[in-house]
Structure 1
Amino acid sequence: MNIYHWRDSAMRLSLAGWHFFAAAALAATPPARAQEKIGIAVIVRNDVSGMLLSRTVPISPGEDVFGKEIVKTGPESSAKLVFADSTNLAVGPNASVTLDRFVFSGPTDYKKAAVTLVRGAFRFTTGNSDKRAYEIKTGVATLSVRGTVGDILARERETIVTVVSGKIVACSIMSYRCTVVLAGETAKITLNSATKKTVDGPNAFSFEGICAADPSVCEVTPYQFAANEVAPDLTPYAVGAAALGAAGAGIAAGTAHNASTPPFIPPLFSPASP
């Protein structure tokens, strides 16, 4: 299937006159860019949309996702994208991710895969490709993964990374300062710094609040089984403030980040009891 996906087709059918015929002519064009299909949206909770070819349309469970597509979630919403190499990307509420560039080296692995986490909370779980193939960017950081499950919070002026397993090399895009984040560690990256933080500190971050509210979003799904994992239940899920905990209202409500009221998710590792 090429980039003229049925989501786009549905939108085109609603247009009148020459718009309809122009779209039909484009759809008849040979699928020269068919390789741009890179994965599938396995889990879709509430408001999830994709922008492709300058059109933004809803994404439903089981639909394909493509290179260059921008995937967004609304309040109380989440999604799980499974790429062709079985890499899983869980997306929290009020988030945006751009699927920048995917170059296949085989039918189920990538020579190069680049994504930009524009804003929001994510869990990234690597699949079959060489781990060096992946590059994750945010507004302030470049993250290199090395066989990893990593939780990432992308804000306007900072990125917080917590590694569940493996390691991530996190670098500031301005100062080029880097830190190696190992399992159980958290790092804060800004335009000019990359420093480790304690996982039980006030600004630690974990995706576990979303996982607890909807475990299927965080379960690892192999690509070959992705179509069978599409959930038929479209009942709205509580993946906002209640799922993240009381301190997560900033993300759930989509409020702007500031130093006094940072979006927060309870840390992955609770502080030891006294």
Structure 2
Amino acid sequence: MNSPRSFLSILSFGFVVALTATPVQAQTRVGEAAVVKNEVVRVAASSTTQINVGDALLRDETVRTGADSATRLVMADSTNLSLGPGSTLKLDRTVFDDEHHYRDVAIRLTSGAFRFVTGHSDKAAYKITTPLATIGVRGTIIDTLSQRGKSTIVLQEGAATVCTTNFQCVELTKPGDTAIITSTGGRITIQKANNPLWTFAATCSQTAGLCTVTQYADATPVTPPVDDDPTGMLCGR
């Protein structure tokens, strides 16, 4: 006959196992890496781990590219996120409606150059931020350059609303429409233009497959071959 002490020992052991298993279960796969060039790492506390083609993108994860590096990440709703050299992205929040649609997804573009192509989720589900701006999208391809004291957002397709952290907003409705947000001496300003001095296109041409758009169901590719054809499909759908 089991003693009360033995029963408590078994119960305690089961409780410890349950606590230990929780972090593993919390590692929700929300996408994967479709293109990786050179140094692309996931950042956790003070350590980094190299990301390879086909590796999972996890909820609440930070991804960083090194110099002369780039990556394209495909999320579960077929959102495509391309990062240029020296860029850092944080998945702040992802809430699923079902296996391939998000109810709420927040992406923080901390620093560097990015291309964002919306997937199959409701457009209101996406919240994209830089240190100076919040971007609301409506069926969109957006290029973003996040620098110290400046964010540049260029519309390539669709429409977007760009607001500063002090709630000044502009509407981007035509390809080439650009929002430029600057912070000088604690004062944040926003202006709209239609003659962008920067787009992500030059970054596309440096890495094969970086700006190709992939559905999540097809996002387990082989490492892209070297493509010397600058007129290829690098920057199109």
TM-score of the superposed pair, with normalisation by structure 2: 0.81
Structure 2, unaligned stretches of length 5 or more? 1-16
Aligned CA-pair RMSD: 2.4
Does residue 1:132 correspond to 2:128, yes or no? no
- Please name the residue that 2:201 is paired with: 208
Q: Give the one of 171, 174, 186 matched to 1:180.
A: 171
Q: Which blocks of at least 5 consecutive residues in structure 1 are unaligned? A: 1-24, 244-267, 269-274
How many matched pairs? Answer: 208
Find the counterpart in structure 2 of residue 22 from structure 1: none
Runs (4+) of structure 1 moved beyond 3 Å?
A: 25-28, 52-55
What SS is found at the alignment partner of 1:217? coil
Asked if the contact 2:154–2:179 (Cα under 8 Å) also holds between the matched residues in 1, the reply is yes
Q: Which residue of the other structure, out of 23, 28, 31, is the alignment partner of 1:39?
A: 31
Per the alignment, in what secondary structure is the counterpart of residue 60 of structure 2?
coil
Over residues 205-262 of structure 1, what are the superposed CA-to-partner deviations in whole Å (9 max), with x where a residue is unaligned?
20000112224110000000001x23165x8x99xxxx9xxxxxxxxxxxxxxxxxxx
- Select the residue among 184, 192, 198 that pairs with 2:194: 198
Give the corresponding residue for 1:148.
Answer: 140
- Aligned counterpart for 2:57 among listed residues 58, 65, 73: 65
Percent identity (aligned): 35
1:159 aligned to 2:151? yes
Instruction: Provide the secondary structure at the position in 1 that maps to 2:67.
Output: coil
> Residues of 2 paired with 1:213 and 1:54: CA distance?
30
- Read off the aligned partner of 2:132 and give its amino acid letter: V
Distance in 1 (CA, whole Å) between partners of 2:53 and 2:167 is 39
Q: Distance in 1 between matches of 2:120 and 2:224?
A: 28
1:186 touches 1:205 (CA, 8 Å); kept in 2?
Answer: no
Deviation at residue 187 of structure 1 after TM alignment: 1.3
**What letter matches 1:223 in structure 2?**
Y
Residue by residue over 1:104-162, the C-alpha shift from the partner in whole angstroms, topping out at 9 and shown as x without a partner, is 00100100000100000000000000011000011111111111001000012111011
Q: Distance in 2 between matches of 1:75 and 1:67?
A: 25
User: Greater Rg, structure 1 or structure 2?
Assistant: 2
**Bigger share in strand:** 2
Q: 1:77 aligns with which of 60, 63, 69?
A: 69
Letter in 2 for 1:163: L
Matched, 1:88 2:80: yes
- TM-score, with normalisation over the residues of structure 1? 0.70
CA distance in 2, matches of 1:232, 1:157: 35
Helix, strand or coil at the partner of 1:44: strand
AA aligned to 2:210 is V
